[in-house]
Chain A
Amino acid sequence: MPLFGRADIHTPAKADAKFVGSFLETNCMSCHSGKRKEGDFSMDALKFDHIAGRVAYASILERLRAGDMPPSVKDRPDPAEAAGVVQWIALQLDTPFKGPALPFAVKEKPVDGNRLPHAILFGGPRGPSVPPAPRLWRLSPSAYKKSFSEFKVQGLQQPFGLHQDAGFKDFSSLYAPDEGATNLLLTNAEQIVNALVKPHAIVNIVANPAGKEPLWPSEARIKTATPEERKHLEKGDRVRQGNGVFAPLMHPKVAANREELVRALNKQYLAIVSRTPNAKELESLLDLYKDAAKEGDYSLAGKAILMAPLMTPEAILRFEIGLGAEVRPGVRMLSPRETAFAIGLALSDHRDLELLSVAAKGKLTTREEVAAAVRHILDGNNPKKPKQAKKSNSRVLGFFREYFDYYRAPEVFKDPLKDYLKQLGFKVDPKQLNFNPRRYVSDTDGFIQNILSQDRDVLKQLLTKPALSKSQVFPSISKADAAKAQAEQIGILMQQSWLVAWSAGTDNDIVRRGRWVREKLLGGRVPDLPIDAAAMVPEDPHRTLRERQMVTRAKACWKCHYRMDDLGTPFEHVNHYGFVRTSEPVVDSEATKSATNKKQKIYRGAPLDTTGSILHSGDPKLDGPVKDAPEMLRRLAESERVRQVFIRHAFRFFLGRNETPGDAPTLQEADRAYLESGGSFKALVVSLLSSESFLYRTVPSLAKETK
């Protein structure tokens, strides 16, 4: 591959506004202005120094630095001129922004996160900080499951789903409760309440004279019953008191009084939304009780009001409105209670009751207090409950699972290993060699936890730390080769879990592996597959996958595939079961022809080629050929850009949204915190969760969005 047009390695030509103007006119305008918006990009915004204009400039800078525009190689500008323009734009972006701090709308799906050019977030002073608008966020399926598992009811149904694409799942803007969900919420509420009131069965003291068991209503309580109720009570029906406050709600013919109802509702609201009902809620529920009782059965009415809090919006939505103090004109902080919920659910799948009690004491009102609280949770500074501390960080591992997507390995359909090996002419004892994607996933979980326990240079370690457990090898490999290959195995991208998760049913998946590197490490983008493209690697058992993959070199394909394929080929050192190999089996036509068994295909080992290249990365120091995966990974691990792209992804996961230009100060702070702590992931999370982007809200009436 020729290395063309990389701007930064050339001495920049002198550039001023006029020069840049004519440069852009010559090289960009014909496709990106007026009605033509190739690649969804228009330069019209450049005319103004508002945030949209800066975003457009940052996009141009990114492309010039990557050196892949215009699409046709022969049309590309003189590298020295391009370098001059890059320098000029960078200077402009570093100039303090004088306009109003307005929100800038970005696309909301996780896959669109990288649309925002890196240069609008990093590279020099950026800002101003523009906290997001107030939001509601539907509970994730796991948070729903966790919060309602406290009731210990078997058979509750999951009402919520998540999108099935790779990458981050739980973004606040993607979900709302749908009709099916509401039905299941109702059904679950019914089951939970049935379980809660189960101890309060009806017993008849006439048929079975009571022992010492406390029953409701007591003799004293009967005195306050109405004459009609007393008439029913004479028949002997009583409710088992148990140790709960729900008993008075369970008698079909005797109404609970206000005090009893309030006590029951307080308990239920506390259990579900961690607060007692407010006056309006209380009155509406008492009305519901009265109304439902008209059906002639107080116990049905009692169950209904106990079900009610399970349906209330707060039980299924996270409220992040910004009900705290105003920190500057038009910007409010989350209230302590909102903050406690937000942090609890950012780090785990449940409400953090300890944090809620801290909030109730009036803490969590400044960013410093929040930072301390987050650090406390992450450090597990609770000698009495070390286990709880570990559990409370469950979403930290969740971030790595969704970032690398290795946990999806078991979902890739493959032929049984023995069938595959038999086809190649191997007979292997399944006890000696088996395919166990679940184990690969747990190996990688362990690998990550090991790195997190050291908490130094976390990203670099994730990419280059030697494997803790040896990966499996293909049966034909010699012991010496196997040992050598295993010694070279570094980082998550060379682990079986990741390699299997990013493989196809019958082959490696060069394209999607490369795409992962492009998007998750280099912060690049790959456009959606054109609808008229039949993306198929031809099946031909006589040729290696790499040879067959050459189909994407066709001009129409390569205009996108140049961003992926060369980043995926270094992982050809394994087969699609993730077993290390030294050659790739292809059908040997000659041997097959002369074989006695006409049905049997004979395979030979084609030499392996694990070379690839990093091109148009946006960081000229990264670009260049690589001989294999370890070389590529080591180079990526040293890159500032890769580190910042990683920070951007952590932001998206923990804040449940894509970053905007107004989040640049938060991202730069997080990057600094990570660097200054020697690459501590903990420091990074503390920084993100105590940032303005996480804790502050821009009051919407005061801000108009620019698009």
Chain B
Amino acid sequence: MNIFPDPLNMVTPGQLDRRSVLKGITLGAGAVVLQPFLNSLEAQAAGEAPPKRVVFLFESNGLYRRHILPRGIESNRRVGPAQVIDRPLADLELPEPIAPLAPFKNRMAILLGMSCKNAMPNHGAAYGALGCYPARDNANGTNAFAHGQTIDHALAQSLTGIVPVVGLGVDASPNTVFKNTVSASARRRPLPMVCQPDVAFQMLFGSVAEGNAGRAFNVRNRLLDWARSDIRRVRSALPAMDREQLDIYLDTFEQMRTRQDRVDAIRDQVRANRPAIDRFNSVRQTDRFEAQCALAASALASRLTNVVVLDGSCGPHAYKTWAELGINVDGHSIGHSLGETQDQSAIPIRRYHAQRVADLANRLAAIREGNGTLLDSTLIVYMSDSAESHHGQGTEWPMILIGNLGGRLRTAGRFLEFPHYNTNGHRTLGQFYLSLLHAVGDRRERFGEPDSGLRDINTTGPLTEILA
């Protein structure tokens, strides 16, 4: 993650003169991002509704339908229902792998049957999982390419925060600081996931931190001041000439300062929500995951951001071994085993992820806001970057939702399964994302690349089944 990510594409606008071009892609952006935030502060002061928030949480190696299918539902992936199955979860029992989510049964939805085959989720779709396009050369390659904006950033355009999207990752290696995985603000502009919780903490909460983190933050500010004076020094040494590049570079430091002032304006709120946890420096995978969840909740609560991506997969082929859970088989090997052997390893890992989702929901539910809690205005999307299986084909992309985005979605306590791939009534992941966009007021007509395999059926428009 980058606290102040590049909010705009570098595409140079068409008919502008040079000054406008250079300025348009730099200076204007900061102002555009800040204004809604200032508005939201005013709104908050006036007692208006809290902002809507969305969290995406990814698990590696597929979210198997058999692990999330409530007991008592007759369903077969190969055949699929002829009509949408829509059942209240209240009557159903959650299966063991996701049992930790039981306390949220009346606020959650289980969605099956939506496809996104063209994202090639086998071994992990990378940007395709949130972008609904093929991001990889082929289904086995490790290279991924951000072809376009992903849904988290598309939502962030409507759910503006100081930081448009906070991206937190959990990589297999504790030494990874940043990794480009699932999220992109624009074509070729991946959002680096911050994989070390202490680095993320420093970036998000450095300004209100005490001890080393606080000191480091202050030193960083002095360095920024030095950089400004350095640029001015270089500038004054130049002969009379076009110094625009330097002016703009200098402006970027001013903007960073301005943005920091905005964070300072909500300093108390940020400080109050600063995560208190002693695992930021841990190299243990589980500790890092838990710390990232705490950071995610804090970033939302302090209103630094309204969109978080928690990437527990961290890229195609980035397989983990969950030794801390007593599982010594790596994710790839689990993916290549079958049936009971597979479940012996896969179920504890699934439970662990379900616990993280529950933990995040609990943290949000514990924070009062207006007449309710933070969870009331939030939607958590729990899914896998490799869709329904380790070798996901994307003919379905199972997911679990918690929360209803402040009442914008009808996702409380429902089980929904859509008809099978390429049959009438079938729905796509792109349509689901489109529904989220509509729910936050962005009424565009489609999201993602269309799947040519579905050209004979109608897959346009948002999911009316879940829109309030």
Write the residues of chain A forming the contact surface with B, with a CB cutoff of 8 angstroms: 108-109, 133-138, 154-155, 157, 161-165, 173-184, 186-187, 191, 280-281, 284-285, 288, 291-292, 295-297, 300-301, 303-304, 307-308, 311-314, 316-317, 321, 410-411, 413, 415, 419, 438, 528, 699-701
Give chain A residues whose Cβ lies under 8 Å from the Cβ of B229.
Answer: 284
Give chain A residues whose Cβ lies under 8 Å from the Cβ of B252.
Answer: 177-179, 181-182
Cβ-closest chain A residue relative to B244? A176
19 A-B pairs within 8 Å (CB atoms) are namely A134-B242, A155-B176, A157-B180, A161-B189, A176-B22, A179-B26, A179-B256, A183-B5, A184-B2, A186-B223, A280-B233, A292-B222, A303-B219, A308-B227, A317-B249, A411-B147, A413-B133, A700-B241, A701-B240
The answer, yes or no, to whether B218 is at the interface (CB within 8 Å) is yes
Stretch in contact with the other chain, from B7-15, B81-89, B98-106: B7-15
Contact B246 A109 (CB under 8 A): no
Contact A176 B222 (CB under 8 A): no
Give chain A residues whose Cβ lies under 8 Å from the Cβ of B249.
Answer: 176-177, 182, 313, 316-317
Contact B239 A410 (CB under 8 A): no
Contact of B10 among A162, A415, A699 (CB under 8 A): A162
Separation of A537 and B300 alpha carbons in the complex (Å): 47
CB distance from A576 to the nearest CB of B (A): 13
Contact B248 A178 (CB under 8 A): yes
Please list the 8 inter-chain residue pairs (A to B) with the smallest Cβ-Cβ separation, ordered nearest first: A180-B6, A161-B10, A176-B248, A178-B26, A182-B252, A136-B245, A134-B241, A179-B252
**How many A-B pairs fall under 8 Å by CB?**
171
Separation of A280 and B226 alpha carbons in the complex (Å): 12
The answer, yes or no, to whether B72 is at the interface (CB within 8 Å) is no
Give chain A residues whose Cβ lies under 8 Å from the Cβ of B315.
Answer: none
Contact B187 A164 (CB under 8 A): yes
Contact B240 A178 (CB under 8 A): no
Contact A157 B26 (CB under 8 A): no
CB distance from B160 to the nearest CB of A (A): 16
Give chain A residues whose Cβ lies under 8 Å from the Cβ of B227.
Answer: 308, 311-312
Contact A179 B12 (CB under 8 A): no
Contact A410 B219 (CB under 8 A): no
Contact B18 A178 (CB under 8 A): no
Cβ-closest chain B residue relative to A153? B177
Give chain A residues whose Cβ lies under 8 Å from the Cβ of B9.
Answer: 161, 164
The answer, yes or no, to whether B172 is at the interface (CB within 8 Å) is no
Cβ-closest chain A residue relative to B254? A179
Give chain B residues whose Cβ lies under 8 Å from the Cβ of A699.
Answer: 239
The answer, yes or no, to whether B452 is at the interface (CB within 8 Å) is yes
Contact A179 B187 (CB under 8 A): no
Contact A528 B14 (CB under 8 A): yes
Contact B215 A297 (CB under 8 A): yes
CB distance from B462 to the nearest CB of A (A): 23
Contact A135 B188 (CB under 8 A): no
Give chain A residues whose Cβ lies under 8 Å from the Cβ of B319.
Answer: none
Q: Identify the interface centre among B176, B223, B227: most chain A CB within 10 Å of its CB.
A: B223
Separation of A300 and B219 alpha carbons in the complex (Å): 7
The answer, yes or no, to whether B73 is at the interface (CB within 8 Å) is no
Question: With A109-B12, A288-B226, A415-B452 known to touch, is A134 a contact of B219 (CB < 8 Å)?
Answer: no
Cβ-closest chain A residue relative to B26? A178
Give chain A residues whose Cβ lies under 8 Å from the Cβ of B134.
Answer: 413
Contact B219 A301 (CB under 8 A): yes
Separation of A308 and B241 alpha carbons in the complex (Å): 25
Contact of B4 among A175, A177, A183, A303 (CB under 8 A): A183
Give chain B residues whose Cβ lies under 8 Å from the Cβ of A701.
Answer: 239-240
Contact A313 B242 (CB under 8 A): no
Additional A-B contact list (6), CB under 8 Å, known A313-B249, A411-B147, A419-B453: A165-B11, A178-B6, A178-B25, A281-B233, A313-B234, A410-B137
Contact B245 A176 (CB under 8 A): yes
Separation of A134 and B220 alpha carbons in the complex (Å): 33
CB distance from A113 to the nearest CB of B (A): 14
Contact A304 B230 (CB under 8 A): no
Cβ-closest chain B residue relative to A410? B137
Q: Identify the interface centre among B178, B227, B248, B453: most chain A CB within 10 Å of its CB.
A: B227
Give chain A residues whose Cβ lies under 8 Å from the Cβ of B246.
Answer: 136, 313, 317
Separation of A6 and B392 alpha carbons in the complex (Å): 62
Q: Identify the interface centre among A180, A288, A410: most chain B CB within 10 Å of its CB.
A: A180
Contact of A174 among B12, B179, B216, B248 (CB under 8 A): B12
Separation of A157 and B253 alpha carbons in the complex (Å): 19
Give chain A residues whose Cβ lies under 8 Å from the Cβ of B2.
Answer: 157, 180, 183-184, 187
Contact of B137 among A136, A285, A419, A438 (CB under 8 A): A438
Contact A300 B215 (CB under 8 A): yes
Contact B26 A295 (CB under 8 A): no
Question: With A157-B192, A182-B256, A313-B246 known to touch, is A134 a contact of B239 (CB < 8 Å)?
Answer: yes
The answer, yes or no, to whether B323 is at the interface (CB within 8 Å) is no
Give chain A residues whose Cβ lies under 8 Å from the Cβ of B215.
Answer: 295-297, 300
CB distance from A40 to the nearest CB of B (A): 11
Cβ-closest chain A residue relative to B12? A163
Question: With A307-B223, A413-B449 known to touch, is A312 a contact of B230 (CB < 8 Å)?
Answer: yes
Separation of A377 and B252 alpha carbons in the complex (Å): 37
CB distance from A251 to the nearest CB of B (A): 15
Separation of A297 and B253 alpha carbons in the complex (Å): 24
Give chain B residues whose Cβ lies under 8 Å from the Cβ of A316.
Answer: 249
Give chain B residues whose Cβ lies under 8 Å from the Cβ of A297.
Answer: 212, 215, 219
Separation of A522 and B425 alpha carbons in the complex (Å): 52
Contact B14 A292 (CB under 8 A): no
Chain B contacts with A in 1-43, Cβ cutoff 8 A: 2-7, 9-12, 14, 18, 21-22, 25-26, 29-30
Contact A183 B177 (CB under 8 A): no
Contact A304 B242 (CB under 8 A): no
CB distance from A256 to the nearest CB of B (A): 15
Question: With A109-B12, A138-B245, A161-B9 known to touch, is A179 a contact of B239 (CB < 8 Å)?
Answer: no
Contact A291 B222 (CB under 8 A): yes
Contact A284 B18 (CB under 8 A): no
Separation of A36 and B218 alpha carbons in the complex (Å): 60
Cβ-closest chain A residue relative to B4? A183
Contact B12 A284 (CB under 8 A): no
